[in-house]
Amino acid sequence: MAEEKKNVHTGHRKRMREDFERSGFNNWHDHKVLEYLLHRVIRRADTNEIAHSLINECGGFAEVFRASKEKLTDIVGVGEETAQYIRELGGFLRYYNGVRYDVNRLVLDSDTCEKYLLNLFDGVERENFYMICLDAQNRILYKRQMFEGSFESMDIDITQLVRVAVKCDASYVVLSHNHPSGIAVASNADITATRTIERALSLAGIKLLDHIIVAGGKCVSVKNEYSGIQARKQRK
């Protein structure tokens, strides 16, 4: 009986490999793609049920690759090695997309900015603050993680920000940080820090295009937020 089950299992994996060779992952369901990827690390067990559990417990296919190691190992059938493999796949995907979007000095505009920033913070569990320097054609010259921590707790070295932007010969700067809480709302600290940095960059002849908060799969403009506050004040 065991031998018969093994033969069926082996044949199923062989058929999946043949399907992939013919058309890649085209028209595959999410659980089937994940089942196939798990073959590399789970050599004997049926990975179909594990794939379904991962997607259900994590809240979706993409969320599997953002999940913490602790969350993954809580799922039946997922051990330390499998969890590490999934984490490494997620890290690879984020690295690949980062390189892809930086090729040929990507032009950061309304069509590319949100996708670029969502990828930048994908899977990041702590609050991080980035500065992106652009040339006069909005092409990315340089991207750097400047700080880690919330605006409420971290000390922002504005002199360092300006120094880096000047060194890059930037015409424009985009700032961005994430809210791991998933709440896409600018705090008072976000607004105050943005206005201070904007003034400092302006003195160096550099324009702050925006400060974008990434949270819950969305992007929110801090500059739009405080522009709205100013407009409401003027109407009163």
- Among candidate residues 174, 163, 48, the one with its CA nearest the CA of residue 110: 174
**Whether the predicted model's global pTM rises above the 0.75 cut:** no
Taking CB atoms within 8 Å and a gap of at least 24, the contacts of 146-153 are: 150/189, 151/177, 151/187, 151/189, 151/190, 151/193, 152/187, 152/189
CATH tag, 105-235 = 3.40.140.10
CA 18/CA 92 separation, integer angstroms: 25
Could you give the CA distance from residue 221 to residue 227 in angstroms, rounded to a whole number? 10
What whole-number distance in Å separates Cα of residue 143 and Cα of residue 8? 50
User: Which residues of the chain does CATH 3.40.140.10 include?
Assistant: 105-235
| pLDDT tens, position by position, 1-12 | 444 445 555 688
Average pLDDT over residues 125-134: 89
Each residue of 144-199: pLDDT tens digit?
888 887 655 556 788 999 999 999 999 999 999 999 888 888 888 888 889 999 99
Q: CB within 8 A of 231, min separation 6: which ones?
A: none
Percent of the chain scoring above 70 in pLDDT: 84
